[in-house]
């Protein structure tokens, strides 16, 4: 069997890697691929290795890395001619590899402009289409109905897709143990850290933002996240709209109630703005870190804060659970139905149901470095025993083979 993984990564991470390694873009495709594999270390990045151990042929494509994709074109005498060089190169790579299976990450990209159908039309060797669903993608019913099998880390997303007639299997995230050979063990500092997204005005991140505001008001917490800063244009637009609204309210109070005044004095028509008052929190945040740099920094903290977005539902499933435990950092996370199936909830982690509970647990434990260290060691042992890439791959490979054999029979 031949399987092609169609992946991508954060543009900022791409730029950070190529800034970190001088002349990396001058190296061969395979040399760049090896360095990037270590820099972006994660369980899914190791899947090709395990598939090949099973006798499969694999291809991993990172569509939005212009440096390595440009090198591929040079080495394979290919000159893109369309306006969409990114997709044209991916299409050519897939056509030349002739996979039996394609496995996409970021399915919404291939939904746009019928890219998936274009891939299939030009690659008749493809028999099955698999995908990963972890983060919000949009209209998931439309996007994922094109796939034969979808994998997701979320129990709730899995059930939701199944209810929509989409063949779906739940697969936990995992920790890649190779990480421990790529990071340096350093003395822990007695502070809390947070790594992740907190975009103001984003409905998925509002609760996370509120928690971080409360924690930062009482403790030193290092936040590594994309910073949002309103542009001058956004500020002027907001000022104009709010001024127009207040003026129309004043005119209404003076008895002036024509159609224009009535329209613009209606609060319901006001657009939603990123809350400028919250920029104080975001201005304190540090630049985001990714991959091995993030894992190195995460390993240096006594305690990490984790909060699932509402999108994932009632079950613990995000990657930070496995990364924090994997690198040996104690974790404070929100209670979920299945936490005890991952950790010993009473001994390995700290869990909360509310901001007050979270603050109480920080009060009680943040300066007890010995307790946090013991907790981190127990969590790490649990992760390394039950939640590493081989554990994850065994289930993935079993589910894929079960599906293929079932269809054949």
What whole-number distance in Å separates Cα of residue 157 and Cα of residue 405?
25
Report the mean per-residue pLDDT for the chain. 90
Q: Is the pLDDT reported for residue 272 higher than 90?
A: no
Candidate ranges 200-214, 227-241, 297-311; pick with highest mean pLDDT: 297-311
Determine the pLDDT at residue 407. 63
* Fold of the CATH domain 2-174+389-408: Rossmann fold (3.40.50)
Determine the pLDDT at residue 96. 98
Better pLDDT: 283 or 369: 369
Q: Mean pLDDT across the stretch 305-326?
A: 90
Fold agreement (2-174+389-408, 184-229+277-386): yes
Determine the pLDDT at residue 375. 96
Under the banding of pLDDT at 50, 70 and 90, the label for residue 57 is very high
What whole-number distance in Å separates Cα of residue 256 and Cα of residue 248?
9
Determine the pLDDT at residue 252. 81
Within the chain, what is the greatest distance between any pair of CA atoms?
81
CA distances from 341 to 64, 311, 387 (A): 36, 20, 11
Instruction: Write the pLDDT tens digit of every residue in 78-98.
Output: 999 999 999 999 999 999 999
CATH of the domain spanning 184-229+277-386, picked from 1.10.10.10, 3.40.50.2000, 3.40.50.300, 1.10.3210.10: 3.40.50.2000
Q: Is the pLDDT reported for residue 279 higher than 70?
A: no
Instruction: Write the pLDDT tens digit of every residue in 337-372.
Output: 999 999 998 899 999 999 999 999 999 999 999 999
Q: Is the pLDDT reported for residue 405 higher than 90?
A: no
Show the 3-state SS of the chain: CEEEEEECCCHHHHHHHHHHCCCHHHCCHHHHHHHHHHHCCCCHHHHHHHHHHCCCEEEEEECCCHHHHHHHHHHCCCCCCCCCHHHHHHHHHHHHHCCCEEEEECHHHHHHHHHHHHHHHHCCCCCEEEEEECCCCCCHHHHHCCCCEEEECCHHHHHHHHHCCCCEEECCCCECHHHHHCCCCCCCEEEEEEECCCCCCCCCCHHHHHHHHHHHHHCCEEEECCCCCCCHHHHHHHHHHHHHHHHHHHHHHCCCCCHHHHHHCCHHHCCCCCCHHHHHHHHCCECCCCHHHHHHHHCCEEEEEECCCHHHCCCCCCHHHHHHHHHCCEEEEECCCCHHHCCCCCCCCEEECCHHHHHHHHHHHCCCHHHHHHHHHHHHHHHHHHCEHHHHHHHHHHHHHHHHHHHHC
| CB-based contacts of 351, cutoff 8 Å, min separation 6 | 332, 333, 334, 335, 339, 345
Better pLDDT: 408 or 115: 115
Q: Is the pLDDT reported for residue 244 higher than 50?
A: yes
Lowest mean pLDDT among 177-191, 196-210, 290-304, 358-372: 196-210
Tokens of residue 182, six digits: 């790529």
- pTM, 2 dp: 0.85
Q: Mean pLDDT across the stretch 285-291?
A: 91
Determine the pLDDT at residue 144. 97
The count of residues in the chain is 409
Under the banding of pLDDT at 50, 70 and 90, the label for residue 276 is very low
Better pLDDT: 202 or 309: 309
Q: Are 55 and 2 in contact (CB under 8 A)?
A: no
Would you list the domain boundaries of the chain?
A: 2-174+389-408, 184-229+277-386, 234-273
Determine the pLDDT at residue 282. 64
Q: Is the pLDDT reported for residue 128 higher than 90?
A: yes
Cα angle 266, 271, 276 (rounded to 5 degrees) comes to 120
């Amino acid at each position: 069997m031949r399987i092609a993984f169609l992946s991508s990564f954060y543009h900022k991470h791409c730029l950070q890697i190529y800034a970190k390694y001088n002349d990396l873009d001058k190296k061969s495709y395979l040399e760049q691929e090896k360095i990037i594999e270590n820099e972006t270390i994660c369980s899914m990045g190791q899947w090709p290795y395990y598939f090949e151990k099973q006798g499969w042929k694999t291809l991993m494509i990172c569509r939005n890395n212009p440096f390595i994709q440009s090198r591929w074109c040079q080495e394979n005498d290919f000159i893109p001619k369309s306006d969409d060089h990114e997709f044209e190169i991916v299409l050519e790579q897939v056509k030349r590899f002739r996979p039996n299976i394609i496995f996409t990450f970021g399915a919404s990209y291939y939904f746009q402009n019928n890219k998936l159908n274009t891939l299939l039309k030009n690659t008749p060797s493809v028999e099955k289409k698999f995908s990963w669903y972890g983060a919000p993608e949009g209209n998931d019913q439309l996007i994922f109905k094109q796939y034969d099998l979808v994998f997701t880390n979320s129990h709730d997303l899995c059930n939701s897709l199944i209810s929509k007639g989409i063949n779906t299997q739940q697969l936990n995230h995992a920790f890649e143990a190779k990480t421990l050979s790529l990071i340096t063990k350093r003395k822990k500092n007695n502070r809390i850290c947070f790594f992740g997204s907190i975009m103001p005005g984003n409905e998925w991140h509002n609760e996370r933002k509120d928690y971080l505001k409360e924690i930062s008001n009482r403790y030193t917490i290092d936040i590594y996240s994309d910073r949002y800063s309103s542009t001058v244009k956004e500020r002027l637009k907001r000022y104009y709209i709010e001024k127009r609204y207040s003026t129309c309210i004043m005119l209404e109070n003076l008895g002036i109630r024509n159609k224009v005044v009535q329209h613009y004095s209606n609060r319901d028509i006001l657009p939603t703005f990123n809350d400028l008052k919250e920029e104080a929190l975001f201005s304190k945040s540090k630049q985001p870190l990714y991959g091995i740099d993030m894992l190195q920094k995460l390993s240096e903290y006594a305690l990490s804060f984790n909060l699932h977005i509402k999108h994932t539902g009632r079950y613990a499933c995000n990657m930070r659970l496995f990364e924090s435990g994997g690198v040996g950092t104690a974790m404070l996370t929100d209670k979920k139905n299945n936490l005890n199936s991952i950790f010993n909830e009473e001994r390995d982690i700290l869990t909360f149901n509310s901001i007050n509970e979270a603050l109480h647990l920080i009060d009680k434990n943040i300066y007890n470095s010995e307790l946090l260290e013991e907790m981190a060691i127990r969590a790490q042992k649990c992760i390394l025993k039950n939640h590493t890439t081989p554990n994850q791959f065994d289930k993935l490979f079993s589910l894929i083979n079960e599906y293929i054999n079932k269809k054949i029979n």
